[in-house]
Amino acid sequence: MATTRTSLNRRSFLKTSALAGGGLMLSFSWLAGCKPSPEQALSLPDEWFDLNGFIKIGNNGLVTIMSPNPEGGQNIKTAFPMIVADELDVDWKNVVVEQAPLDTEKYTRQFIGGSQAIRQGWKSLRMAGATARYVLKEAAAKAWGVPSGEIITEAGLIYHKASGKQAGYGEMAAAAVSIPVPEEVALKAQKDFKIIGTSRKNVDAKKIVTGQPLFGIDHKKEGMLIAMVVHPPAFGLKLKSVDDSTARAMPGIVDVFPIKNMQDDYQRQFFDTCAFTELVAVVGKSTWEVMNARKALKVEWEPFSDYSETRDNGTRLFPAGLENSVGHREQMAKKKGKTVKVLRKDGDPEKAFKTAAKVIERTFTAPFLAHNCMEPMNFFADVTADGATLVGPLQKPEFTEKTVAARLGIPLEKIDIQMTRLGGGFGRRSYAHWMVEAAVISDKVKAPVKLVYSREDDMTSGIYRPTYQATYRAALDAENNLIGFHVNGGGIPESCIYANRFPAGAVDNYLAEDWVLDSNITTGSFRAPRSNFIAAAEQSFLDEVAEAAGKDPIDFRLELLERAKNTPVGDNNDYDAERYAGVLQLAKEKSNWGEKKAGVHRGVSAYFCHNSYAANVLDLVFENGNARVEKVTCAIDCGIVVNPDAAANLAEGATVDGVGTAMFGAFTFKDGVPEKTNFDKYRMIRTKEAPKVIDVHFVKNDIDPTGMGEPAYPPVFAALANALYQATGKRLYDQPFAPALEELSRSRI
């Protein structure tokens, strides 16, 4: 049994009576302290408690656990309460879960991103449950006049065996309010977990399958108007003028007007990326009427000049001009072999390549990608003289709230953001400029408004995954030992390089360089940012190096990891070589790697990102000339797995997503105009193309949980590419793979 202090980082624990009729509410702050009354402060510890949710225990023993983070399919709304409930020692069937609203007084880091929710909330959530259990036990001991050390709890009940007394949590909730919070509290040993580590169904599952309103697109309010926007047809253009005379006269139309969602002098935050700040809004009584009125608008656009955006993470230049995907490829190709920014240098890589017996060099590319969330962007806004109520799906509410406050000129405390379930996020909903747009429109028309993007709006207005390029070189000596490794990579408009990741630390002579090219095409986070490309390039290249060295691809990687473990090069390597090797070994074992099957072609890949390790072995077959993924064996080390079925589901989803994106995902531009506007042109994976079997295995250990939503995604690309090579004899260096396979098929006819 471990103990943990209940005062961390100058935070504290606020305990107040919250329910009429006697109850206990424990509320927790993650990064920002709560603000108790002077009377409350007198009975509190000197420092604030560092937690992130709140528990309400009714006098009937029912426990409500609030889930503060947005739910976007990562199952956090189930996992967070599971952690609290286990330490609280309550029966899961007596737990009710509610989505908390945005409340920066009680919670912070209320966002989806970086696969960090469980990792960063693990100790705080456990502490929340354990502290609640402590005060309930102390209340019982005081009421019964027995030593608290003799009190035990189980499934929401409190027992004193010697006297035969027992009570439910609800009976002691009111008395527990007066119990002082301890300086430290005991946490359960992993062997004593009853809920953590067991599979629990998604708390919203029934509502989802029965079509109950959970998503922003479902939200309605009496008197609500519908709004849509018109943005420039090409990146590089801005609004010049609009003739709305015809549209205004159409049935059901309330107003048409230009809006500016961000003022020129506004200091943007990290997630204030926005493709187009000047738009035309159309507001009416129904979606159909607004869509028709939009078509009747006569809008003129004009080129913009070079401009820059300064945000809290730096300044980005948006050059004038209408860009083309062909030009992007040419620009990146010119960077190959050029002197660029050195990120890391170990040993003497120049000498290693000069004296090498064999040098392998390959260049990999990947295009822009659209997120294509199933639920198009939408948000409800009701802005009045008293404040703003905002309802909808977004990933970073506490950041966007500040942007809305600045844009409307109202204080944060007058903004109420209610989070709905996301119909997909993947980074797209991190940049919730549409929430700002909805607020500006509502403020203008003085009525509640739901802003809705069409699929075409969403796909053509940004935000995209950047386009990338990476050139790798490997130097082998006469005995086929890897003696030098060099990666030079970048992208439009960001670099793809993680300089301190594998195989850094495993090669004596190592060089990592990067570069970036400016663009006026708006980009942002995409599932496993940067890793989603660089893992594909790195792991495809390592397979080719292994082949040149005459070694099995898994054994080759394991040899490098053994070197990184025993005699690492440098001290900035950001991975644990033993855990990295562990997922490779598990994937090798579970896939029966050495087993040969007629017609089955295998590829392997492994990667570390978001604090977790994942490895894939992918089995590929050809049917009627078409490649089909027969099976993917996934091995993952994400520490303690809170909800195994949900974690496996995340791995399965990442695998299907990865196969589809690797094969088909591509977004292109011609004269600044997006060439794909809907799913008739933007190819997505189809049901019949999904892997037949996805076999997920987790490394069992007692390490605190790490990321799960993103780490299983990056390795899929290279596992597929390596399997395709085994099947066709052709290495694939450019994503997506489908065009090259089609060309190969035609050449063989």
Strand (E) or helix (H) holding 45: none
23: pLDDT confidence band, cut at 50, 70 and 90?
low
Which whole-number Å values give the CA distances from 747 to 624, 733, 735, 737, 742, in the listed order? 16, 18, 19, 16, 9
pLDDT at 6 over 70: no
Q: What is the pLDDT of residues 125-177, one digit of tens each?
A: 898 899 889 989 999 999 999 999 999 999 999 999 999 999 998 888 888 87
In whole angstroms, what is the distance from residue 506 CA to residue 485 CA?
10
405 vs 124: which has the higher pLDDT:
405
In whole angstroms, what is the distance from residue 711 CA to residue 614 CA?
6
In whole angstroms, what is the distance from residue 555 CA to residue 482 CA?
13
Contacts of 595 (CB under 8 A, 6+ apart): none
Q: What is the pLDDT of residues 33-90, one digit of tens each?
A: 333 333 333 232 222 222 234 788 878 888 888 888 999 999 999 999 999 999 999 9
DSSP state of 478: T
Looking at the chain, the number of H-run helices and the number of E-run strands are 18, 34
238: pLDDT confidence band, cut at 50, 70 and 90?
very high
Task: Please tell us whether the domain made up of 464-748 is placed in CATH 3.30.365.10.
Answer: yes
pLDDT at 651 over 80: yes
Give, in degrees to the nearest 5, the angle at Cα 580 between 733 and 2: 145
In whole angstroms, what is the distance from residue 435 CA to residue 449 CA?
11
pLDDT at 353 over 70: yes
20: pLDDT confidence band, cut at 50, 70 and 90?
very low
CA-based nearest residue to 413, from 421, 429, 402, 424: 402
Exposed, middle or buried, 387 (CB in 10 Å: 0-12/13-18/19+)?
A: middle
Looking at this protein, which amino acid is placed at residue 562? Answer: E
Residue 478 φ/ψ, nearest 5 degrees: -65, -25
430 vs 19: which has the higher pLDDT:
430
In whole angstroms, what is the distance from residue 504 CA to residue 574 CA?
9
Q: Residue 76 is encoded by which pair of tokens?
A: 């956090």
Beta bridge partners of 248: none
Q: First CA to last CA across the chain, in angstroms?
A: 67
Q: What is the mean pLDDT of the chain?
A: 90
| Mode of pairing for the β-strands spanning 601-609 and 358-366 | unpaired
DSSP state of 6: S
Q: What is the pLDDT of residues 291-337, one digit of tens each?
A: 999 999 999 999 999 988 877 777 889 999 999 999 999 999 999 87
The sign of the torsion formed by the CA atoms of 65, 69, 73, 79 equals: negative
3-state secondary structure 569-588: CCCCCCCCHHHHHHHHHHHH
Looking at this protein, which amino acid is placed at residue 643? Answer: N
In whole angstroms, what is the distance from residue 339 CA to residue 473 CA?
15
User: Is omega for the bond preceding 674 within 30 degrees of 0, making it cis?
Assistant: no
In whole angstroms, what is the distance from residue 284 CA to residue 278 CA?
20
340 vs 672: which has the higher pLDDT:
672
In whole angstroms, what is the distance from residue 318 CA to residue 522 CA?
9
**Strands (E) located in 93-236:** 95-99, 151-154, 157-160, 165-168, 184-187, 225-230
Q: What is the largest CA-CA distance in the chain?
A: 88
In whole angstroms, what is the distance from residue 488 CA to residue 534 CA?
11
Q: What SS3 state is found at 444? A: helix
Q: What is the pLDDT of residue 3?
A: 65
Which whole-number Å values give the CA distances from 498 to 70, 382, 529, 700, 711, in the listed order? 28, 43, 11, 27, 15
CB 171 within 8 A of CB 136: no
Looking at this protein, which amino acid is placed at residue 716? Answer: V
Q: What is the pLDDT of residue 56?
A: 81
Q: What is the pLDDT of residues 381-397, one digit of tens each?
A: 999 999 999 999 999 99
DSSP state of 379: E
Exposed, middle or buried, 516 (CB in 10 Å: 0-12/13-18/19+)?
A: middle
What CATH architecture applies to the domain 2-196? 2-Layer Sandwich (3.30)
216-307+377-452 shares its CATH topology with 464-748: yes
CA-based nearest residue to 510, from 501, 521, 519: 501
4: pLDDT confidence band, cut at 50, 70 and 90?
low
In whole angstroms, what is the distance from residue 696 CA to residue 718 CA?
18
Angle at which helices 531-548 and 553-566 pack, to 10 degrees? 110
% of residues, the chain, pLDDT over 90: 77
Q: Under CATH, to which class is 216-307+377-452 assigned?
A: alpha beta
Burial profile 344-366: b = 16 or more Cβ within 10 angstroms, e = fewer: bbbbebeebbeebeeebebbbbb
Strand (E) or helix (H) holding 381: strand 378-384
pLDDT at 15 over 80: no
pLDDT at 103 over 90: no
Q: Residue 487 is encoded by which pair of tokens?
A: 């990666």
Residue 187 φ/ψ, nearest 5 degrees: -105, 155
672 vs 262: which has the higher pLDDT:
672
DSSP state of 302: E
pLDDT at 703 over 80: yes
Q: What is the pLDDT of residue 413?
A: 94
User: Is omega for the bond preceding 45 within 30 degrees of 0, making it cis?
Assistant: no
CB 603 within 8 A of CB 624: no
Q: What is the pLDDT of residue 708?
A: 93
In whole angstroms, what is the distance from residue 724 CA to residue 721 CA?
5
Beta bridge partners of 523: 464
Contacts of 346 (CB under 8 A, 6+ apart): 504, 507, 508, 509, 510, 511, 569, 570
pLDDT at 749 over 80: no
13: pLDDT confidence band, cut at 50, 70 and 90?
very low
Average pLDDT estimate for 603-632: 96
Q: What is the pLDDT of residues 297-307, one digit of tens each?
A: 999 999 999 98
Beta bridge partners of 379: 451
Q: What is the dihedral of CA 485, 491, 494, 497, to 10 degrees?
A: -10
In whole angstroms, what is the distance from residue 508 CA to residue 483 CA?
6
In whole angstroms, what is the distance from residue 445 CA to residue 742 CA?
53
Place of tokens 């063989």: 748
Q: What are the sequence ranges of the domains in the chain?
A: 2-196, 216-307+377-452, 464-748
